[in-house]
Structure 1
Amino acid sequence: MQKEAKARLKINALLQETGWKFFDDKTGARNIEVEGNVNLESLGDDFEHGKGFIDYLLLDTKGFPLAVLEAKSGSKDPVVGKKQAEDYAKAKRCRFVILSNGDTHYFWDLNQNAEKIILKFPTQKDLMKLLTATTARPLSGIDIKDDWIVQSQGAVAEADRKFLRDYQLDAINTISNKFDEGSRRFLLEMATGTGKTLLAAALIKLFLKTGNASRILFLVDRIELADQASQNISSYLKEYNIAIFKENKEQALQNQVVIATIQSLSYNQNFLKYFSQFDFDLLISDEAHRSIYGNNRAIFEYFQGAKIGLTATPKDYLKGIDEKKLIETDPRKLEKRVLQDTYKTFGCESGEPTFRFDLKDAVTHKPPYLVNPVIYDKRSDKTNQMQSEEGWQDAFIDEITGEQVEETFKIRQLERKVFSDSLNHLIVDEFLKTAKKDPITGEIGKSIIYCISQNHASKIARILNEAADKNWPGKYSGHSGVFARQITSNVVGSQELTKKYRNNQLGNTRIAVTVNMMTTGYDCTDLLNVVLMKPIFSVSDFVQIKGRGTRPHAFKNELTGQITQKDSYHLIDFFGVCEYFEDKYDYKEPLKIPAGKGMLPKPISEPQPKPEPKTEPEPGDPPIAVAHGKFMYIGTDFLVRDNQIQIGDDCMKVDREAYRNHFEQSVKDLMGTDKEFKSALENNDIDETERIAKEKLLEKPKYYFSLESLRKAYQTSNGLADFLRKAAGVIERLPDKYDRMNQGFEEFKLVYSDTPYEKLNYFENIYQCFLTNPDYRHALEKGNLGVLDDQTFGGIVPVGRINRDEVEKVVSYIKESNIAYVN
């Protein structure tokens, strides 16, 4: 079959998949005409008769011309037919043009300048919506006052009425003016705690009220943030229908405002399955740098509406970094790329956001909108050594052989390879001494402690509760609320616990001990202590975590009515995190550390620490014991792991086939006993499926199923939901590397939709060769571009057609999207 026939067969199928009809049927009249009034039935399946290509005329519900589809063969760039299609569309008085070669498709609204790449054809409903949309009023035509949200809240308590602040009104006016001038992409850079969700709600109302949007997508990166956004926006805008995509997918298809996680849209390409690219007239992305990371950006670019990004992580935090000196594995290099892409993606190529209200603006405002931390930099001798270039070097005694060995540790190995019970007790004691107190009760103020791992969090919570029993006997208990509560993802009901802790519904509990929860978007205004019991190397993570304490709060004495305003919070740092970022990043607000007696406080960038004396072990006592590759610092209480079995090398002794059989039978048993789990699996509800599996199936004794062990057993890098669906028989096989490789390039085309067609073919060759040929891959990583046209490696890119930066673009996309090598 000729290339032209193959292309048209593909186009025919794609048209029919999106509801277009070549012939009348029981559901309605045909809505496709073929150029020249060709009799389709006489052409056969391949439409080979006749001269040249057959163009398609798509009709509206009344049979009038709606769009022209210009078809080209699979070897040609569809855009070469643009002028021909334009002339044809004007002759037929059509506003819309589709250009396709069966594999790559472009959509062009003649009212706009440029065509846009699309993954599937628009439906008749999509085009009718674009054509018949009510003429919208200018955004700037509405005079927004501070009670814009209050008007939509209905009857609420006075304290719950949400008035817009001056800077929020400024942001709305900025976007309104730029939108009316033709801009369609905006980036709002606002410090954590300055009300980005409230501002988003105000913009949602404005776009809906003026007719500039009929449906809006609010994009978040975690399900707890979706729940929080839904609760808040629903309370702000009671006249609009709002739904979370994962909870009721069918209902979400009808709602005016849809809140969704990146994960729920990306899984199984749900964004393609459930939505047209024309469904949403406005996208708002919370923590915008996350929505465009790697292949997440394919989802972002799929939808054709205007786009507003919200971020608390400004680009200039990386000012002064010499990129050339950063190795590929340095997280700062990747983070800089992501942050720069954020600005470009949202139409801010200059590096300046559409609107900015940063931490300095917030804390210097009168009255202040946010509070600054007081930083306590506390490091033990061992953590200090581990953070040095030399590392922590010490002698170790193997408890099995009795031999003495030398070992060196870096900070990333703490609580993973080397363990110190004495260190954990030390940092707990120091925290209790340093923590900011509640101004009303005098207790330890509400605190969040960020630990290295779930096991580490468990240890810290236990030590804290032991200290509370000793210092305040009888005050804290399981009945009245434990002093410290572990809130990590492996704890049943952890999401609900975060809400209860925020709303003071956990009794006397003063401290939440976590790992990575309660970071982005967690609003707890009466928080007085943020504690870093782990190293942090991501600037985005650091900004989010330290931002948990910046919100102001009015503490009220219920007996006297006296109000005490929160003026600061304590940022207690046991791993030199603040110093690390202070040395490497240019913060606008100088960070402060507490001074000793008789000394003035000094910026942390100019520390004058007094060396702490080393504590030497008693003579004759071995300082370290080592067994099975794990090192324990011997202190007064020697602690080993408990309550959790790690899947390590020993797991590999278990026969993989038997392990898979046990897992698949366990999944089937759970389906038979848990109707919610079965329903979630059958309805492809990824979030609910994984939640139930983690709660009832994973990390239990005997087989200790975990994502890591399943990947080893199946020898693949699939996600948890894939393993569950395979075990349940929902899918016959696990999606393999080739499936993900092909899907990845389709998403690449969306991300770089402005790439000329010829280069897109070259990029695809580089993409496939890099993933499938290790010699080709190694050559490119060493900078050897000679392999691009070396057919022994599969290369077909002519010399000089692709430059080094373009090769780096493809390679970086593969790595940032975590696309697995096929070979």
Structure 2
Amino acid sequence: MNKKQMSEQDIRSKFITPSIVSCGWDIQSQIREEVSFTAGKVIVRGKLHTRGKSKRADYILYYKPNIPIAVVEAKDNKHPVGGGMQQALDYGAMLDVPFVYSSNGDAFLEHDRIQSIETELPLNGFPSPAILWQRYRQFKGIDDSADRVIQQEYHDDGSGRTPRYYQLNAINRTIEAISKGEDRILLVMATGTGKTFTAFQIIWRLWKARIKKRILFLADRNILVDQARINDFKPFGSAMTKISNRQVDKSYEVYLSLYQAVTGTEEEKNIYKQFSPDFFDLVVIDECHRGSADAESAWRDILTYFSSATHIGMTATPKETRHVSNIHYFGEPIYTYSLKQGIEDGFLAPYKVVRIDFDKDLTGWRPEQGKVDKYGNEIEDRVYNQKDFDKNLVLDKRTIMVAQKITAFLKATDRYDKTIVFCEDIEHAERMRQALVNENPDLFRRDKRYVMRITGDSTEGKNELYNFTDPESRYPVISTTSKLMTTGVDTQTTKLIVLDQNIQSMTEFKQIIGRGTRIQEDYGKFYFTIMDFKKATELFADKDFDGDPVQVYVPGPDEPPVPPDDVDIDDGDDDGTIIDIDPPDVTIPPGDGPPPKKYYVDDVPVFVVAERVQYYGKDGKLITESLKDYTRKAVTQSFASLDDFLKRWNDAEKKKAVIEELEEQGVLFEPLADEVGKDFGPFDLICHVAYGQPPLTRRERAENVKKRNYFAKYEEKARLVLEGLLDKYADEGIEHVENIEVLKLQPINQYGRPMEIIKNFGGKEKYLEALKELESQLYIVAS
């Protein structure tokens, strides 16, 4: 067969794979083909969701199972040798590999990312594993002693769970840094991306290579320590122990500890001082933004005491304030995997935002002269605004309104969706619990755990924390909290996060958002919703936020707090300090004495202010212009003229590709259809909004095709199928017609099974030709 006529698969199997194998690469252990290394972004449409395409490399070559060293992208022979290079370079950067190749079966084009040099190599001239490893070592400055630990493999329990690509990047960069003598290392990984598993694999490789023999893993929540010991760290077995508040046993090698267990009182500090300062070779600090960054914190006592050890800090939110910096302590992060990247890769859940504004929050409230609260306390005369509510002054009807909106949302979605309500303090969390009980008496009667306050002072609430985080446990469903659940709690199935708390700290905001970012496919959790009552989501516009939502929904006063189904989503203190446990609140009774901590007002009405829907654009900035204007700008950036757009549309093998391309540029088709007309398809929406063309509905386009008697040249059975496809287009759009699965659906399936239908056209190729011609007929008027 002529090489030009071969498929890409044939080129790979007949030329590329044999060439790589002949140059010394083992096909069983070093060559992996068609490797999908991302999960595919979760795309949400109303209450439905789908997955985008995962990123898939044609080949990834491994020097060792834990060391990916090269990416090879293949193209058929109609392409030039370097036809796959740009795609390969993207993959190479993501996978952190130094050598990138493209081939069409004639030769290889090599891009050395270390030196940014491209060289064409003959088909039999692919570098051997030893040659690439030697080049890699030379660039990285890896000597023989470092080589041993770098080649130490990660732990494989045989279950098939191996590090994801970004976890392996973080592990390898850390191992390389330590092998070269670096002793202060920072890893930044978004919540939900597996920091503990990554930490375990780092420790395992260093421990098995005997580079680090005694290790201390520190966390600041008991649940984190126990989860690590029972789950990810389990392979350490009898070599591992958890430190408690008593005499320590120094015969173990891996120690896990709650930092409060070894710091605090002088007696507790004596626990870690039972170890000699040089006892540990390695200290790993989980969630290091909450202590080690502060030179005066208890964590730093431990780090200072064990200063001769290597210190690895892990966090989702590196803290940078005027007073505190963990980058100053650890140095710049050696690897960062952001929330935004996690959502793009499909490993983290995207989210909707519902923003609800109350009249008193926006305009403030001033008491009339001499007004007393419901406990008889005279209210200080001043204007109280959003920052005061629930902190200095309580409007009971506002609390009730928040509870009503939360309940309305759950009733419209699923009343058993796990929900966290973040309140100003413990007292606010208790009032919110009461208000939610009153709005949901039917479900509370079934189980008193339907709504629970989970705060630092509540033994009953803390006892239910494990159940709240357990996907198997139905109760508790709604948790009201303040600081206790801000961070470090693995709430895998949380689908609604409610913000009724003034949040000024980007660190705290990112941590709170992180409570919802985990995907749990087995439990139907693919995305989550943020309901914001105190403008906290304005922090999305901050330059330091890295996971922008695409759309924010602001319901009017009489509208449900649920975004319409046709909206798509593809996508503390000022110094950032997070308090681990809420301080107790004391409400001073009326009468003599100092003014109360809070005033309680029960006779002031609160209303929802009507506002329009607001959108976040592709760049993460809030769109304040009209949706039509925004769309026009987004489209014309890609297609300067109508002719440019028509050419791209008509040349596209599938129209869906153009639609997705525009969505990636920030075009929101279904909200746009709400504004222009629900019966217009993407083609007419773009032609009308961006280029001023008169639009036709899908039904009008379909009828125009029928009037032309275009079907006359087909046999009856084929003609009936095409008419059915036209009706499908009129009802549901072009994307559904292009999908071969449409042949299995009514009314088209009445003409036979898909293969029988395709035979009526003379085979699959002829069917696709007929479909292409049908599309041309549909859009002939505007073109």
- Report the TM-score when normalising by structure 1: 0.47
- Report the TM-score when normalising by structure 2: 0.49
